[in-house]
Amino acid sequence: MNFQENYDVIVIGGGHAGVEASLAAARMGSKTLLMTINLNMVAFMPCNPSIGGSAKGIVVREIDALGGEMGRNIDKTYIQMKMLNTGKGPAVRALRAQADKDEYAASMKNTVSDQENLTLRQGMVEELILDDEKQKVIGVRTSTGTQYGAKAVIITTGTALRGEIIIGELKYSSGPNNSLSSIGLADNLREIGFEIGRFKTGTPPRVLASSIDYDKTEIQPGDEAPNHFSFMSSDEDYLKDQIPCWLTYTTENSHTILRDNLHRAPLFSGIVKGVGPRYCPSIEDKITRFADKPRHQLFLEPEGRNTEEVYIGGLSTSMPEDVQFDLVKSIPGLENAKMMRPGYAIEYDVVMPHQLRPTLETKLISGLFTAGQTNGTSGYEEAAGQGLVAGINAALKIQGKPEFILKRSEAYIGVMIDDLVTKGTLEPYRLLTSRAEYRLILRHDNADRRLTEIGRQVGLVSDAQWEHYQAKMAQFDREMKRLNSEKLKPLPDTQEKLGKLGFGPIKDALTGAEFLKRPEVNYDEVIDFIGQAPEVIDRTVIELIETEITYEGYIKKAMDQVDKMHRLEAKRIPKNMDWDKLDSIATEARQKFKKINPETLGQASRISGVNPADISILMVYLEGK
Amino acid sequence: MTLTQEFDTIAAISTPLGEGAIAIVRLSGTDALKIAQSVYKGKNLAQVASHTINYGHIFEEERLVDEVMVSVMRAPKTFTREDIVEINTHGGIAVTQEILQLLLRNGARLAEPGEFTKRAFLNGRIDLAQAESVMDLIRAKTDKAANIAVKQLDGSLSKMINNIRQEILESLAQVEVNIDYPEYDDVETMTSQMLLEKTAHFEQLLENLLSTAKRGKILREGLKTAIIGRPNVGKSSLLNQLLREEKAIVTDIAGTTRDVITEFANIGGVPLELVDTAGIRETDDLVEAIGIERSKKALAEADLVLLVLDASLELTDKDLELLELSKNANRIVLLNKTDLPEKLDINQISGDFIRISALKNENLSAVEEKINQIFFAGEIEAKDATVLSNARHISLVEEALKALKEANNGLALGLPVDLIQVDVTRCWQLLGEITGEAAPDELITQLFSQFCLGK
């Protein structure tokens, strides 16, 4: 084969999955090429201008702990930061940032460009080059005919894969935001034999900031207390002049406009064929499904510091443009707003994810990986998390090293990938905290504790990050030790102080840790009794201490479950398992097993439609092998 | 399914039901000894030698359930290569089932079909060549169990479970929406107080369901009733009255070691299984000591105790002894012989009593009413009530209830709602195991159908 250049890893697509995949592979020593249709759209955010949120914010921290880039990049380019769910338990707190879209993309592009071992190039890949047996990928061919050799290829094409934009009666071939649609590659994947699905998503209109009457809306400021995604970012760098978002609502009039034009809505006229997400319905969908709701919340989110564009969160729509003009004007604060871009729906091809291994390598073609929206997810964070896992595994495979699979008990990323490859998905998949069975363990405050060591092992965590992490853990251990030895004694002045704070007197001496175990007691109150530590304790260490001690019982209960589960995850099913040989299992189970080809007993047990008896039989069979 | 169940301590009745005089309840797993000990009074099982059989009694808290022999076999020289405890009961079906339920309530899980054999195999106790037959056994037993379960899962029960599950699901979805869409202002935030009200309500629903299990058992099997009292107080006449008044069925249970005659009387729709009626007839004329001994024995086996006192005489020491013996049982004190002048000092009797005349058949309806009150909280309308009867179902509901109680404890401690959610979710999942395979992503589906969310 005549290759222009040879690489270890080629990544197709420079979105949020693609940049993480290529950075990870390059940082692990693989000679990597990142191909993108448009060099001006690297790490582009085609929809909402925010990163993080419930569950997703924890994913960003996980990416950071593993040595990925998303957390660092948003910490450099946010315009507002907010910790969500502060009034709730520690397991569900999560950080969300409003991003400066242009800066985010520019900063990430610089990181990619500066990365050693990594080449960034514009070009459209139209075909995968396979070996003679058609079992292994060996390179790619672009629309201009150039051929590149590769030991592994990662497809991260997002909504560009046979993308089609729909606005009202209008439908045209396009990637996100009127970029080129990737059709050759989509055809090629079908030819190779992949099962391809068709999904749909959408985005709301954008309006001109100076045309908004903010007096009619409600301000939504960021937090004053510092917080960042990356464990390496410093509180001192916390942004003071944050830009607020604004809250407004749809009106009866908005709903009338939509209702009067429903016959023209592509969603209902039959133009939209793809499956849309339930969690991100368009406004026309909302007023139909929840017809009795008099109004819907809308968030006006600035897209950056140096742009006038404002994103109308909650108003995703593919109604005809003339309807969108009227719709925008029906909203308080937007009466005179100038629409800068209309909303649209986009349909795209998806590689149905049950065809993937937990490493995100396709079962069909060795060395071929897929990640991000291509696998049926939605969201920048979900994409980035998969990109990272695919990039790491591509590099490890080339180096002949063991695979990298995050367990459900280790990371939300592990939950997501296990869900995708075990259960598949029938609609765009979004991470929700309820998808995790161990959410008390998968917290934002312990993401580094869960994953830094793993990231270090695969070779992605830098020396600086590793040292920073070790110092933090050493401090955590020292302070835990102190809390477990320093005591509150039942002396008169202690009792009096307790009384003043509203606590009952104590009978016996108790350690600081035992006192902190009471849900109503916090770290500062304990310090009040046992005295300050001889060093300045980092606030993130304090948060970790409080959670670990207060919820110790629940955490332990969850960990017991995790330990048992791990013993079963360790029971591997042979690669070339002949499911027909297992004649005692139910027919439905056999069909499912054949389709998914689970790799462990644990994975097999999570397939829907498989019952305990089938798993029992499988267990006996494996033991008998 | 949750695979972690593989490590549970399992229990099952391992002798065919309804046959033979002895039944065996078997426990296998790490906690087998601990769980057995928690319901057993006798030797300290943790300290007895392996492969020994030990005499003792099974108690449900203070109530004696049965006199048993307990075999202790420690790993690895056992069938499953785990610790095994076998409880040999000599009660009938009802007592054996009761002991099983008791073990399940104390931490054991009901064994899946073929699970003991499966463990034996997985732990290397059975030859690898037998793998195939083990697989077939699991399949065959599962199919059979499934048939039975389907038969026992009547429409009204599954409807009731589904209703409770749906209610729980709606609460869960509300908690989830608060977490995943914290800025969504149209949905009320689920506070601890609100959740506590919900869990208390769910708890009530499950308690009601469980009480039907008890009622169901009584209606099916009868209330084991002992008539006790010292000689000549009128036990025989009471017995004859009960039997004469209603259609009496006299059964001779063959094959039992003790030649006991059991007779049934139907009191206001409740079948009373009168224990040791032969004894009453025989011993009324014998020496007092034997009467007391038999009373004690009958007392130990009974669900209901009718203590007969002779109101025409002062209380004797024996009367007082019987009063004391039966004070913790479901007891009705009957002051018999109201046809004669009353000499008995009622201040010596603690609690309620009913005056009757067995001879003249007076006031027996009050007895009927009292039974109804004790066992059905006054509601006899059990005709169409949903009844929980399958042992697996009962243990699942009990587990679900336990999870709810943990949720309540957490709420009382002031823990955040999203932590409490863990226990409520578990309750919901356990109930789902009664009605069968839960639909995938049930909660997420509920979330998006109940609330209008989106970017």
Chain A, nearest residue to B181 by Cα: A54
DSSP B1: -
Q: Is the pLDDT of residue B376 over 70?
A: no
pLDDT at A212: 98
pLDDT at A346: 96
pLDDT at B294: 64
Q: Is the pLDDT of residue A269 over 90?
A: no
- Mean pLDDT in residue range A89-112: 95
More confident residue, A542 or A586: A542
Closest to A608 (Cβ–Cβ): which among B181, B422, B440?
B440
* Alpha helices, H only, A281-433: 283-289, 321-329, 380-399, 412-423
- Mean pLDDT in residue range A3-31: 98
To the nearest whole Å, the CA of B334 is away from the closest chain A CA by 51
Q: How far is CA A312 from CA A47, A79, A319, in A?
A: 10, 17, 15
To the nearest whole Å, the CA of B214 is away from the closest chain A CA by 29
Q: Model confidence over A326-356: pLDDT tens digits?
A: 999 999 999 999 999 999 999 999 999 999 9
pLDDT at B203: 92
pLDDT at B220: 62
Q: Model confidence over B340-373: pLDDT tens digits?
A: 888 888 888 878 889 998 888 888 888 878 877 7
pLDDT band at A96 (very low <50, low <70, confident <90, very high): very high
A145 contacts: CB under 8 Å, gap ≥ 6: none
Winning range, highest mean pLDDT, from A463-472, B47-56, B165-174: A463-472
Domain ranges (residues) in chain A: 3-200+347-461, 204-345, 462-556, 570-622
Q: Does A565 touch chain B (CB under 8 A)?
A: yes
Please give the CATH topology (third level) of the domain spanning A204-345: Elongation Factor Tu (Ef-tu); domain 3 (2.40.30)
Q: Is the pLDDT of residue B288 over 50?
A: no
A401 contacts: CB under 8 Å, gap ≥ 6: A458
Winning range, highest mean pLDDT, from A387-396, B5-14, B158-167: A387-396
Tokens, residue A77? 């380019």
Nearest-angstrom CA–CA distance, B206 and A415? 32
pLDDT at B322: 83
Contact status, residue B417 vs residue B195, Cβ threshold 8 Å: yes
Contact status, residue A417 vs residue A436, Cβ threshold 8 Å: no
A460-474, B136-150, B422-436, range with the lowest pLDDT: B136-150
Tokens, residue B352? 């309620």
To the nearest whole Å, the CA of B409 is away from the closest chain A CA by 12
Please report residues of B whose CB lies closer than 8 A to that of A299: 183
Chain A to chain B Cβ contacts (< 8 Å): 153
Q: Is the ipTM of this complex over 0.95?
A: no
pLDDT at B182: 85
Inter-chain CB proximity B180 and A55 less than 8 Å: yes
pLDDT band at B157 (very low <50, low <70, confident <90, very high): confident
Chain B, nearest residue to A610 by Cα: B1
Please give the CATH topology (third level) of the domain spanning A570-622: DNA polymerase; domain 1 (1.10.150)
Domains located in chain B, CATH noted: 10-111 (3.30.1360.120), 134-218+390-450 (1.20.120.430), 223-376 (3.40.50.300)
Inter-chain CB proximity A564 and B176 less than 8 Å: no
As a CATH number, domain A3-200+347-461 is: 3.50.50.60
Chain A, nearest residue to B180 by Cα: A54
Please report residues of A whose CB lies closer than 8 A to that of B179: 54, 85, 88, 92, 433-434
Dump the DSSP string for A320-361.
-HHHHHHHHHTSTT-TTPPEEE--EEEEEEEE-GGGB-TTSB
As a CATH number, domain A462-556 is: 1.10.10.1800
Closest to B444 (Cβ–Cβ): which among A54, A314, A434?
A434
**Average per-residue pLDDT for chain B:** 78
Please report residues of A whose CB lies closer than 8 A to that of B1: 605, 610-612, 615
Return the closest-CA partner of residue B245 out of B356, B370, B364: B364
pLDDT at B246: 40
- Residue A13 counted as an annotated binding residue: yes
Inter-chain CB proximity B416 and A623 less than 8 Å: no
pLDDT at B244: 59
Closest to B422 (Cβ–Cβ): which among A554, A609, A624?
A554
Inter-chain CB proximity A286 and B136 less than 8 Å: no
Inter-chain CB proximity B454 and A293 less than 8 Å: no
Please report residues of B whose CB lies closer than 8 A to that of A565: 3-4
- Residue B279 counted as an annotated binding residue: yes
Inter-chain CB proximity A620 and B131 less than 8 Å: yes
pLDDT at B123: 82
Nearest-angstrom CA–CA distance, B75 and A515? 41
pLDDT cut 70: percent of chain B above it: 75
Largest interatomic CA distance in chain A? 87
Contact status, residue A432 vs residue B176, Cβ threshold 8 Å: yes
More confident residue, B145 or A462: A462
Q: Is the pLDDT of residue B247 over 50?
A: no
B398 contacts: CB under 8 Å, gap ≥ 6: B101, B104, B105, B210
Contact status, residue A309 vs residue A165, Cβ threshold 8 Å: no
A239 contacts: CB under 8 Å, gap ≥ 6: A78, A79, A80, A81, A222
Q: Model confidence over A274-286: pLDDT tens digits?
A: 787 777 789 999 9
Inter-chain CB proximity A432 and B422 less than 8 Å: no
pLDDT band at A576 (very low <50, low <70, confident <90, very high): confident
Q: Does A561 touch chain B (CB under 8 A)?
A: yes
Return the closest-CA partner of residue B58 out of B15, B11, B91: B91
Q: What is the pTM (predicted TM-score) of this model?
A: 0.83
More confident residue, B387 or B161: B161
Return the closest-CA partner of residue B349 out of B319, B304, B313, B305: B319
To the nearest whole Å, the CA of B122 is away from the closest chain A CA by 7
> Do strands B52-60 and B63-73 pair parallel, antiparallel, or not at all (unpaired)?
antiparallel
pLDDT at B326: 83
Q: Is the pLDDT of residue A383 over 50?
A: yes
Q: How far is CA A61 from CA A68, A196, A360, A451, B384, in A?
A: 9, 31, 21, 10, 56
- Residue B276 counted as an annotated binding residue: yes
Return the closest-CA partner of residue A346 out of A124, A161, A156, A196: A161
**Average per-residue pLDDT for chain A:** 94
Chain B, nearest residue to A300 by Cα: B455
Q: Is the pLDDT of residue A549 over 80?
A: yes
- Residue B386 counted as an annotated binding residue: no
- Mean pLDDT in residue range A499-513: 89
Please report residues of A whose CB lies closer than 8 A to that of B135: 582, 584, 617, 620-621
pLDDT at B383: 38
pLDDT band at B328 (very low <50, low <70, confident <90, very high): confident
To the nearest whole Å, the CA of A126 is away from the closest chain B CA by 33
- Mean pLDDT in residue range A207-230: 97
Chain A, nearest residue to B127 by Cα: A624
DSSP-based three-state secondary structure for B62: coil
